[in-house]
Structure 1
Amino acid sequence: MRQADRDEVKAASGKSPAEALLFSLRKSTLAWTGIIDGRPEVMFGVGDLNILAGIGAPWLLGTDAVEQHYRQFLRHSVSWRDQLLERYPILRNFVDDRNTVSIRWLRWLGFKLHDPVVIGGHVFRIFELRSSDVRYHDGPDGWVDAVGRGRGGAARAGVGGGQSVQRANHGHERPACGSPGEGCD
C-alpha cells in the first residue's frame, strides 16, 4: 500500500493496511480491485453513509503502481466516479490533509474539499461531490449531469485505456469496466 494511504489509515482508524482493506470491503455496497499487469494494485468502493439522503462514502487504497500507471488510473477513475454517482447523488468522505496526491486526484474528479478539521489529533478534509455538479456537454442540445438528467439525453463517460489494467468485481452489482475479470480496454 502507498505510504500516504498507510499513514491515512493509521491516522483515521489505527488499523493496519490489511485490517483497513477488510473493514472497507465488509462495509461496502460496491467494491472492486484494480489489476495492473496481473497484480492487484488498487482496491476501491463505496459504502452507505445515509441511505435516505442518498449519500455514499467512496474509498480507495492503492499501491505505488497506481502512480506509475496514473494516466490509465485517471481515465478509469472518471468511469468509477460516474458509476457511484448513478447510485448515490452525493459522495462524501474525508482525506488526510497530508495526502496531497489523493487531494489533487479528488479535485481533478470534481470533488469539493472543505476546510481542514482535526479528528483524533490528525488533520483531515471532508470531500464531497454531488451528481448535479458533474456536467457533460451532450452535443448541440445541451448539458446533462452524471446520471443523465438535463437536456439532450443520457450522459456519456467515455473511457479509454491501456491493456495493462483490468478490473475485478467483488460480487457487488456491476463491475467498474466490462464483466468481472474483463479488461477495461
Structure 2
Amino acid sequence: MNPSTTSFTWPPVSPSGPISYRRATLEDATALAPNLRKADLAEMALAWSGTPEARLQESIRASSEAWAALLDGEVIALFGLVPYSCASAPWMRCADAVEDHPRQLLEAARAWLASVSNPEVPLINAVDSKNRPAIRLIERLGFTVGGFVPNFGAEPDRFRVFFMGAIHV
C-alpha cells in the first residue's frame, strides 16, 4: 500500500485514538530504552555497540525529524528519518505497548511516511530478519523487504534490506 493514500495528516491535529505524537527529545530515549521490545533490543545489539539509550539518542540527533509516540503520557515508540546523500533511512523502536494499538500505529505511520516521502529520494534501511513485529509493520506500510545485506551487523546474513521508491545502483 502506498503511504500517500492515507487521509491522515501529520502530525495528527486530534488523535484518532489513545496514542499522541510530538517531536522526540533525548529524554524520550532515556524513557523508552528500558521498555524496548525484546526484538528491537536484539536487533540493536547486533547492529551497533553502545547502550540502547545511547543508540536511541544518536538516532534522534542524526534524524532530520524524530517523533515520540505517547500512550497516557508514556513514550511507547520513537521514530525518525536520517537523511543521506542519495536516500533517507526511516527507523522506529517500540515498547510492547504498541502491540495493543496496531491500527492507530499503522495509520499514523502511513501519514508520517506520506509527509516525509519524496519520489526522488528512496527510503531504505535494514531490519533483523528475526524481528518479525518490525517486518510485519514494514510490509504493511508498503516497503519491499529484499535480500540480505552482506557484512552488516555482528552476524552475517542476518539483516535484510527494506526500501520504498526507486533504488539506483
Which of 143, 148, 155 does residue 121 from structure 1 map onto? 155
Q: CA RMSD in A?
A: 1.7
Instruction: State the alpha-carbon separation in 1 of the partners of residues 75 and 159 from structure 2.
Output: 27
- Pick which of 78-87 and 103-112 moved more: 78-87
Aligned partner of 2:82: which letter? Answer: G
**Segments of 4+ moved more than 4 angstroms:** none
Any idea what SS the aligned residue of 1:75 has?
helix
Per the normalisation by structure 1, the TM-score is 0.65
Alpha-carbon distance, 1:86 to partner: 3.9
1:56 paired residue number: 88
Alpha-carbon distance, 1:59 to partner: 0.5
Whether 1:97 aligns to 2:112 is: no
Q: Deviations over 1:40-61 (max 9, x none)?
A: 11100011122xx3x1111101
Any idea what SS the aligned residue of 2:149 has?
strand
Aligned partners of 2:126 and 2:149 also within 8 Å: no
Flag the structure with higher strand content.
1
Aligned partner of 1:34: which letter? Answer: A
Whether 1:26 aligns to 2:61 is: yes
Q: How does 1:2-21 map to 2 (within 5 A)?
A: 2-21=37-56
Counting matched residue pairs gives: 128
1:44 paired residue number: 79
Higher relative contact order (CA 8 A, sep 6+): 2
Any idea what SS the aligned residue of 2:84 has?
strand
Aligned partner of 2:44: which letter? Answer: V
Any idea what SS the aligned residue of 2:42 has?
helix
Aligned partner of 2:122: which letter? Answer: I
Instruction: State the alpha-carbon separation in 2 of the partners of residues 69 and 87 from structure 1.
Output: 29
Alpha-carbon distance, 1:127 to partner: 0.6
Larger Rg: 1
Percent identity between the aligned chains? 33
Flag the structure with higher helix content.
2
Alpha-carbon distance, 1:115 to partner: 1.0
Any idea what SS the aligned residue of 1:79 has?
helix
Instruction: State the alpha-carbon separation in 2 of the partners of residues 84 and 9 from structure 1.
Output: 24
